[in-house]
Every structure is written in structure tokens, then in C-alpha cells.
Chain A
Amino acid sequence: MRTLLEVEDLRVDFTVGAHGRRRRLRAVDGVDLVVREGEILGLVGESGCGKSTLARTLVGLQAPSGGRISLGGDLLPRRRPAAVRKRIQMIFQDPGSSLDPRHTVREALLAPLRVHRLADGAGEEARVRELMGLVELPERLLDAKPRSLSGGQRQRVAIARALAVEPDVLVADEAVAALDASATGAILNLLADLRTSLGLTVVFISHDLSVVRGLCDRVAVMYLGRVVELGRTAEIFARPRHPYLQALLAAVPRVGAPIAAPPLEGDEPPSLLDPPSGCRFRTRCPAAFDRCVTEEPALVTRGGALVACHLADRC
């Protein structure tokens, strides 16, 4: 499969704190990632691991502090013009706030068509109806306002609106985190169907491993701003090599089994303002040893996956 979106050594810094005590917070720290055409790539990690910042940087809502993002071979500029922004669209976590409460569904779908002059008078209405069909929403909802839609319906409208500009990549940032179980299943099925029918490429960001497992072709696991493991979903879920992913998988609740806390030292990851030396995961890692303090493990190929751990060979 052809490489569509390529991220090289991406870094995103924020300055935090008041005057005089300003500090640099590196939310994304040297991420390399390749998204192939037509695949669904999962991006998982705890809150605060930088996955949402990475998502916002991919779509152009956040300017990178360093590194490169290229799409279909074109290097994307720091400030993207409208024609470039349109190529990577985003689905937000809260479908309640991603639609303007004053606008009807039709207005929400027409706006992107008009900005990019994608359809003329008669074609507009046909395209709007086609978009509703794509996301499996009845056309009678076209004149509804977001307030009268369910969470799942709103998220479908948001997806339809993103599809209106025929993007190359769809970035879904916790797109099902705010939905109930049945709506979650329906949206996941919709994304899978759209991938099949439109050949859509999706970057799917989630903290929920079970959701990612069902949907994604490949998964990247992030910890404190870095990718620690990356590989085919079936491969890395069956044989997790990084102790972080092993811990996360051990903590996924299963019906019938007692609920287990992840075998990690401490509940919270360390502060991004002061990340640990060497391997960032060492402060919570049950298997950490001397080398982890001094030397940062590189992302290397082990079996069918990429792993950043000094103990990767032993697995």
C-alpha cells in the first residue's frame, strides 16, 4: 500500500506558566509515523500522552515546533492555506460542540461545498442528500438543528460534513468517547464501511483499546509524547512487546474476569514538564533496570512490530 501521510520527527511545544516562570512543555516529542492509503491507523495512549496534540497538528489546528508532515509526497507548510487544510479533516470528540447550534444540518453540509465551490445550485442539494446517504442519516433530518439530534446522529453529521470536501485523510479524535455503547458501535461500523466504500484513510485516536482493536489495521501506542510500539493490530495485541502496552492490555476489563489494575508503578504518568531521563516509561515500568535510566531506547523492529524498549529482544 502506498504511503499517504508521513510524519517525521514531529515535535510540538507549548509554553506554560505565568511571566517569569514560563516553562516549555513538549507534548509531542519526535514522533515518526506513516499512514498508508486506505488504512485505519489507531493511536492509543493515556490522556496527556500527546495523542490529541498529534491529531490537531496533523490537521493543521496546531503548528508544529519541529519536524515535517507530508501528504501524498507534498511537504505541508506550517500555516496551511484553505486548499491544503481541506485535504485532512477532523472528527471531534464532542459532537455537541462541533456543530454550530444555530445552523441546520443542511446549512452545516452546504457550507464546505460553497467555500470550495464543489457544487452548483442544483448539484448542491443532490450532494447534500448523497452525503446524508453516505452516513446513513434520513434526509428528513436535513432541516433539523443539532439540538434535536442524538449524539450518534450529530457525529454522523460531523462525519458527513468532513466528507463533503472529499478529504484524503480523516482524523477522528476520540470520536466515540462521548457516545453510548450502541452509538459507538454504529459509528465504528460506519467508519469501517466508509473505508471500504470510499477507500477512506483514517487516523483513529482513542484511549479505548477494545474500540481500537475492532476497527484499526495498525496501531501506534503513545506514551509521554512518543510512540513506544507500532504494528499490525492483530500482531501487537496478541504479542505486546512494550511493557506499557502489556500493562494496558492486562487492565482491559473482560466479562467474567476480575477487574485488574494495570501492573504499573503509580496511577499517573510523570509530568511532561519534567520527563524522566532515559526511557520515559521507566518510572512506572515493572521491569526497569539500570540502562533504562541512562539510555533512551530507540524504536526498532522486533518481529512484526516497532518497539522502543531495551528489553524488546527478550519478548
Chain B
Amino acid sequence: MISVRWLHWADLVLPPLVALAVALVAGDLLILSYGQAPGSVWRLLLEGTWGNSYGIGQVLYKATTLTCTGLAVALPMRAGLFNIGAESQLAAGAFATALVASLLPTATPLLLAAPLCIAGAMVGGGLVGAVPGVLRARYGAHEVIVTIMLNFVVLALLNWLVSTYWHVPETLHTPTITSGQMPRLSQLFPQFHGSAANWSWLPVALTAGLVQWALQRSQAGFALRAVGFQPLAAENAGILVGRVWRQALTWGGALAGLGGINFVLGYKGYYEDGLAGGAGFLGIAVALVGRNHPLGVVAAALLFATLSQGGLAIHALVPKQMVEVLQAVVILAMAMAVPEVRRLLRTALTPRRRAP
């Protein structure tokens, strides 16, 4: 049965590689269309990201948020649900964490403030995630439609709250928080100076590990994966499918909400309208490339963070919007490669079995 397991890994790892290759070719074409040499642009992209500590810090910062939104898509996906609501769940989490931080007395010790603010972020995102969860479990409302539509509702609601009740005049952001700030990495490692990298990565990385562990080792994870593969068989085994759906989407929302601490506690110190800036939608790409495995999500988040930071680095030679195109190409190629690779592997396997 070695071949079966080998195939399982090939099925997991091959599509992202194919997608990356396709994106490289597409990138070459875009670069050429702008009259530049692909080699030097790619080199600049790598140098501007992984080539210096500022770049690394920026990648780390962006990857932290993307890990959260990626997990927010990946976890419900393991239960067979498609969460397209990470964008607004992230914003709600950020808003909630800013709210908690602003309610705390000034200069509350970080060890007390951080857990409270993190909990606030997860509750904020989780509340938004619970809506499609409940509607799906109770009324059978399709979670894709509900999460899309809810994005607009929640973002409009937050916009209204901030613009009507809680903003610094002449801006669309809330007052700066006075406790719960995550220290910048540069406080400990001065070479990160100027980058937005902060200690938010630590709880996020721990969370990713925890999700992976829970999926494999907990009763709840067992039930969730069973529901994701075959809801009818899970129901037959006494698993309450509706409850699993509700929990999966609620936790998905909470994971997206967690990403809010990176911006609010770690970077700006306030909630700002539009701070999600597409990171929620990019979470779909991250989950897809990471094959819905929490550790794969972390790797994919680093990849997409590299691309988006790299865009700034190459702007001197080609417009930074090139990387937006590339990100979309990766998703599209990935979506096509997954079924195609599976088909190819299956046909590759058949003759071997036929031989006695």
C-alpha cells in the first residue's frame, strides 16, 4: 500500500507546484509586455522580500494576517463548507479587538491585556461566522451566498459605527489604543526596524499548530472531518451534522477575526475602515494552495505575502499590480490543476493494478 500513500502526497503537493510554474510563465509574459527582463525582475522580487530583514519583517507581517484568513477558509472547508466571509470576519475581529483594548485601563499589563484582546478579536469574527453557520444548520441556507452577502452588510455596519460614533475627526479610524499593543519585533531585533512585524505572529502560529492538532487528535476534529467527507455517513454515526456546520463556520470566523490583532494591536494601534483590504479574499487562495492543511496554509500565506510585498520591490521596473494578476493566476491554475492532477494520477495508477 506504499503506492497509495505516495499518491496521496503527490495529489497534495503536485497541484501547487504546477500552479506556481504556470504563474511564473504568466509573470514572464507580463514582464516582457512591459519591456523588462524577467530574470532581473524576479531577482529584485526576491531581494526585496527575503533579501533583507526589513523585507522579511514585512513578509512576516502580511503572512500573519493571511494565515488567519487562510485558516478561516480551510477549517470550514474540512467540514465541507465554503467560507467566503473572511473579509468581513477579519474586519469585525479587528473592530472588536480595538473595542476591547479601548475599554481596558491605560497600560494594562500585556500578559493580561493580550489574551483579552485576542479573545475579543475571535469573538468578533466568530459572531459574524456564526450567522451563516446557524442559517445553514437550521434553514439549509447556502453558506456561500450568505457569507458573500454578509460581507457587504457587516462592512457597511462597521463603516456606519465608526463614521457615526467612534472616529477621530477628519479620519475613518478609531482613537489609538492605550493598552494591549503587541510589541514590534524591532524592539528585540533592531534589524527589523521600520517593518510592521510584531509579536502577533506568535499566537497566530500557535493557533495554526493547535488547529492542525485538533483536526487530527480531537473528537471534534474527527467529527468535523467525517462531516466534510460524507455528511450522511457522519449522521449515521451519531454525529450531529448541523452542530458541526455551525461550529466550523463559527470557528472559521473566529480564526479570521484573530487576524485583526495584527493590524490593530501590532501595527497601527487603531481600527480603520477598509483595513482588511482584500486579505479575506486572498485567504481563499491561501487555503486552496495550502490544501486546507493548517501547516500548508502557513506555507501558502508566506508565499502570497512574499508576492504582495515583492510587488512593491519591483515597482521600479514593472507596475506592482503585476503581482495581483499573478496571485489570481495561481488560484486559477491551482483550481484547474487539482482535478486534472487527480485524473492523471488515477490513470497512471490503473495499468499498474491491472498487471497481476
The answer to whether A and B belong to the same complex is no
Chain A interfacial positions (CB closer than 8 Å to B): none
